Amino acid sequence: MLNVFRRGTVTQIEPIAERMRRIRISGPQLRELGWVPGTHIRLRVGDPRQPRSWLRGFLRTYSIWDYSPHGRLDVCVLDHPAAGPGALWSRRVRIGDTAAFLGPEGRLLLRGDAPYHLFAGDETAAVAFGAMLRALPASAAVHGVILASGPGDRLPLAQNDRLTWIYRPDELLAAVRSLDLPGQPGVAYLAGEARTCQAVRAHLVGERGWSRRDVVVKPFWAPGRRGMD
C-alpha cells in the first residue's frame, strides 16, 4: 500500500481566504498526473510526532485547486472549528515538509455537453468548483450558490459574478430554490455538507423535475463524521 503514495515537497503555503490555506506540493512524482478539474487527492495527514497516527495512516481528501503538469498541485484546506487531522495538518505543515498522497481520482467532473451548469455547495466545495469553472469556456452558461461563513471566506473563482455567495447557514437550499434557472434541466454539481447536498438534489428532482442523472453529488463532510472520501 505504502509504495502507491506519491511524494512531493510543500513549496508554498498562503492564505487564500480567511479560514483557508492554499498549500502547494511540488516534485518530479507530480509530473503528468493526467489531472482533470474536479478531482481530488487523498493526503496523508498523520502527525509524524505521533507514531500511532502514522500507523493508522490518516488520510483526508482534498480537491485539487490547480495543477501544473510540470510537477505541482495546489490544495486548499479549510481550518474549521472542530479541526481534525486534516485541519491540524494544514496548521502544522511547513515549507520543505514532505507530503504523501494517493490520486488524483474522483467523479465530480464537468459534463461539457450540458446546456448550463449549476454549482451549489459550501466553501470546501468551492475549491473543486474553482478548478471546474476555470476549465469552462467563457461562453458557458453558469449558475450557482455558495455558502461561506462570511465574505472573508469567498474564494477567487472564475465567473464569480455569476455565482451568489451567501453567509447564513441553512439557507443554501432556499437560495437554490430561488434561482431563476432556464426551464430545461442543465447539469448540477452539488458538494460540501452531506445533508445539504441531498436536500438540494431532492429539490432539483422533486420540485424542478430534473432527472437524477442531471445531478452530480459528492458529499465532502458531515457533522460528527470523520474523514469522508
d(CA 52, CA 23): 25
Residue 225 binds to ligand FAD (criterion: CB under 6 A): yes
Cα separation values, 58 from 46, 96, 193, Å: 5, 20, 21
Cell digits for 175?
A: 437560495
d(CA 187, CA 214): 5
Pick between residue 82 and residue 138 the one whose CB is nearest to ligand FAD.
Answer: 82
Using the CB atoms, write b or e for 79-118: b if 16+ within 10 Å: beeeeebbbbbbeebeeebebbbbbbebebbbeeebeebb
- Interacting residues with ligand FAD between 125 and 154 (CB under 6 A): 127
Binding residue for ligand FAD, selected from 27, 57, 71, 227, defined by CB under 6 A: 227
Sheet containing strand 117-122, edge to edge, reads 164-166, 142-147, 117-122, 187-193, 215-221
**Part in contact with ligand FAD (CB under 6 A); list of ranges 8-16, 48-56, 74-82, 135-143:** 74-82
Pick between residue 57 and residue 227 the one whose CB is nearest to ligand FAD.
Answer: 227
Binding residue for ligand FAD, selected from 85, 104, 144, 186, defined by CB under 6 A: 85
- Find the residue with minimal CB distance to ligand FAD: 84
State the minimum distance, in angstroms, from the CB of residue 56 to ligand FAD: 12
Residue 156 binds to ligand FAD (criterion: CB under 6 A): no
Residues that bind ligand FAD (CB under 6 A): 40, 60-63, 76-78, 80, 82-87, 106, 124, 127, 218, 220-221, 223-229
